Chain A
């Protein structure tokens, strides 16, 4: 194991998959000559050439659809959105074409495509550039959605996504690109299955269910809670769809108290689905109502103080934990 950044981990995943399979190519805005808007594709043009690392015009609907068409005839495209906020311009391709093709063709055309890029609120980018799209996309049958929080998960999940025979969205955490973590050395194949959560920290008093940018938040809060003798079990979903029900239920059966901290909005958010499944399946294990901490239900304001007030934060999470623990 060695320590690398989330950005480097994604870069390694791309390089390894491009190396392994000649049908894999990377396409998107500024991925080639500019070396990636967030430098995730740094060096790939030099290594793999312009046939496989392809710059596009600002034309998300066009190149997302191009990817779906190429996948219909056997290529395995990786389509980068400069941010998933821009994927909304290509919503028809991601929602109507990629996941429906396999069904509509009676199983004749599967679409092995990876859509990836940063997702979720960053810092003072305003409402249009801050969308957390996981709940939109996870609601669509035929799509798979993951949202890694650590360099190791980012690498392992992206590699798995590229090899998957279905459309997979890898929602990267914009604020975590420079964060560091331990990852297996490059000569060791690292594949993390979709649909497997990971307990990032063991605890016994409360389950904090989180993913992507809320994982470091939950871990930080767990340290603070420990000082107050509250032991938090931190369950990182990693995949939103498929959802690892077992990992969630195992944690809840152990702690009997649940807080879900998510980066999307409260109405029909990811936490709403998790909450429903917990109460439906292990209602008797619960000692308190589940609480969700999410963004406030408003478009994200530019003003820094207001932005902070909208996003999940440590104070909100601690208050929620204390409420479910009756502390």
Chain B
């Protein structure tokens, strides 16, 4: 496992570029009607997931809501598999059965892709429960938007996580709007992070447009959780440049507001930091960007060429015991580190 401080920042910048170019191309393909249903883009928020991934191990659990393309890409799902999923193809990361909002990648510990707001937060708590149950030292990262924090499932999940002392980081990607409703109009708090205090969970606000700040904060929190399991809450202040989904022109906010955040662009910021420190030249940056664009274009070609899921597999993925295709997934791989003894959920 690569220690956090050695994860190459240029590589992480390259990942942010891949995410941005992927989303731009997805937008274009959506308009060309190659992609159906709903499609929510991550543009503007790249530093959050990239910073988080840079700070955890490959076997830590990642779960998110429906704005999930970036989380899969960051976890190592190929652009091919992601684009093919958007196209509804058999080669997609969910065999074309999930779509934009339901990306899954078991091999890379990406547990979805969940489209009912906040319904996955209890799932994340269950995954963290399993970590303690088995005495492992993994951590669960649970991403959700500011719109999730007023749902019952969110509150129940936070209470359970605190009660059972589960190893989980609740990561609120606060992009200021739940669809068209601003946080001010949805939430009776001065700041979202205060939700955590109600459950005795330590919480902090993080500049979600700053890769380094996100990475360092997640690393610090995860380190503390690995030593002694507990939940933590991070409010990432971020911004999505596009509408809630492809069908949203985002007329509820001003051009000036958008421009203000663009000046704070996460990619521009990390680029400037690296350039200033002599770790990146303009030529190198252009090359990274070119590669990202090529990867995404190739992914579109791959998705176009890929076959549809065969009609005769329609009933193969309803019940696990009747699967004709992949059969049951294998058992979980052995875990590298175990704690001495598993903490008991409710010690009597």
Residues of A within 8 A of B (CB): 25, 32-33, 45, 49-51, 54-57, 59, 61-75, 77, 92-93, 96-97, 101-110, 112, 141-142, 144, 164-166
- Chain B residue numbers with a CB within 8 Å of A97 are 114, 116, 119-120, 123
List chain B residues, Cβ under 8 A from A51.
Answer: 133, 342, 344-345
Whole-angstrom CA separation of A317 from B326 in the bound complex = 48
Please name the residue on chain B nearest to A33 by beta carbon: B348
Contacts of A45 in B (CB 8 A): 348
Chain B residue numbers with a CB within 8 Å of A92 are 116, 119, 153
Q: For the complex, is B124 an interface residue (Cβ under 8 Å from A)?
A: yes
Listed residue (A33, A72, A108, A142) with the most chain B CB atoms within 10 angstroms of its CB: A108
Q: Measured between alpha carbons, how far is A68 from B160 in the docked complex, in Å?
A: 14
Interface residues of B (CB under 8 A from A): 61, 63, 92-98, 102, 104-106, 111-114, 116, 119-130, 133, 152-153, 156-157, 159-160, 163, 316-321, 323, 325-326, 328-329, 331-332, 342, 344-348
Residues of B within 8 A of A57 (CB): 156, 159-160, 163
A/B interface sample: 11 pairs, CB < 8 A: A54-B346, A65-B119, A66-B129, A68-B123, A69-B124, A69-B130, A77-B126, A106-B95, A106-B98, A107-B329, A108-B106
B97 touches A104 (CB 8 A): yes
A59 and B317 in contact (CB under 8 A), knowing A70-B130, A74-B332?
no
For A67, give its contact among B124, B126, B318 (CB under 8 Å).
Answer: B126
What is the distance, in angstroms, from B40's C-beta to the closest C-beta of chain A?
A: 16
* Least Cβ–Cβ distance between B321 and chain A, in angstroms: 6
Determine the residue in chain A with the shortest Cβ distance to B342. Answer: A51
How many angstroms between the C-alpha atoms of A50 and B345 in the bound complex?
A: 7
A49 near B332: Cβ-Cβ < 8 Å: no
By a CB distance below 8 angstroms, the chain A residues around B112 are 101, 104-105, 109
Chain B contacts of A55 at CB under 8 A?
Answer: 346
In the complex, the chain A residue whose C-beta lies closest to that of B122 is A65
In whole angstroms, how far apart are the Cα atoms of A63 and B125 in the complex? Answer: 9
Chain B residue at smallest Cβ distance from A25: B133
> Is the Cβ of B94 less than 8 Å from the Cβ of A104?
yes
Q: Are A63 and B319 in contact (CB under 8 A)?
A: no
Task: Across the interface, name the chain B residue whose C-beta is closest to A142.
Answer: B318
CA distance A93 to B346 in the complex (A): 23
A73 & B61 in contact (Cβ 8 Å cutoff): yes
Contact: B159 with A62, CB < 8 Å?
yes
Known: A69-B130, A72-B127, A92-B119. 4 other contacts (CB 8 A): A65-B126, A102-B318, A106-B92, A164-B321
